[in-house]
Amino acid sequence: MPAISELGAAKRDKPLWSTNEVTVIFVLGGPGAGKGTQCSFLVADYGFKHLSAGDLLREEQDRPGSEFGQLIKDYIKEGLIVPMEVTIQLLENAMKAAMEKEQKTMFLIDGFPRKLDQAHAFERSVVKSKFTLFFKCSEKVMLERLLDRGKTSGRADDNIESIKKRFRTFEDTSMPVVEEFRQEKRVVEVDAEQTPLKVYQDVQERLKEWGVHPLEVKLQQA
Ligand code: UP5
Ligand code: MG
């Protein structure tokens, strides 16, 4: 990828895709709320393409020759939000690739947008989201989950110092995004402290209310 100043995806003043062409559901929730876990269930039953912004950043960080590797590493360790131009470009590239190679048009964008400027830039220049699936979970439960996962995850930010910083960033910077979408009545909130299966059942119920159906149902309707 070129220098940050040259990354074009966040700069367009018209969306690249219309909501008729592409469906995007943002998946938000604190660190360890279970975004990735629930997205993997949804991929299996609904045929979404799952794009985790954090995973895309970690991939770019590890890509030999990436000029953003060190920057991404430093931001993630500190629980800070990587400059949006990088994340939006990575998301747009991944969406284009999934559309071309896998004919995907339905996307779960996990862990993004985490800051109001990202939310505005993505919806202005890439595509407007349909709604945001928000996993509500207390810090106490998220901390237990992350420390447990940290025993084997190898993630540079699954340690108590980084986790505390991630919690602060989430409260101070990412919750305002959820609040703005909530005011626009575009938030679907689910209690994420239940078992993974119970959380998923609630998610499925709520998606049905929004007219989003599993693949099996779509085939029956066709
Ligand atoms: N688990 C899951 N659900 C459970 C349940 N219901 N009951 C019991 N256990 C449950 O789950 C976490 C752990 O909990 C797992 O062990 C799981 O088995 C268990 P997971 O599904 O992985 O939770 P998730 O919400 O995906 O947690 P994650 O740690 O991925 O969330 P973060 O939001 O912190 O991480 P992300 O990868 O999205 O971002 C990392 C960093 O990247 C950010 O801090 C930031 O520095 C950077 N970033 C940006 O800069 N910009 C972006 O746009 C995105 C990321
Ligand atoms: Mg995750």
Indicate the number of domains in the chain: 1
User: For ligand 1, what atom is nearest to the CA of residue 54?
Assistant: 37
Ion ligand 2 neighbours (CB, 5 A) are 35-36
Residue 128 covered by a domain: yes
Residue 81 assigned ligand-binding role: yes
| Total-model pTM | 0.96
Residue 194 covered by a domain: no
CA of 72 to the centre of ligand 1 (A): 16
Residue 16 covered by a domain: no
Distance CA 92, CA 200 (A): 27
User: For ligand 1, what atom is nearest to the CA of residue 169?
Assistant: 44
Where the chain has pLDDT below 50, the residues are: none
What integer pLDDT is reported at residue 8 of this predicted model?
78
Residue 183 covered by a domain: yes
Q: Residue 98 belongs to a domain with what CATH number?
A: 3.40.50.300
For residue range 49-75, list pLDDT tens digits in order: 999 999 999 999 999 999 999 999 999
Residue 221 covered by a domain: no
Residue 90 covered by a domain: yes
Which distant-in-sequence residues (6+ apart) come within 8 Å of 141 by Cβ? 32, 193
Residue ranges making up the domain that contains 54: 21-187
What integer pLDDT is reported at residue 5 of this predicted model?
66
What integer pLDDT is reported at residue 149 of this predicted model?
97
- Ligand 1, atom 40: nearest CA belongs to which residue? 54
> Over the chain, what is the mean pLDDT?
95
Distance CA 128, CA 109 (A): 12
CA of 36 to the centre of ligand 1 (A): 6
The 8-class DSSP code of residue 5 comes to: G
Residue 212 covered by a domain: no
Residue 193 covered by a domain: no
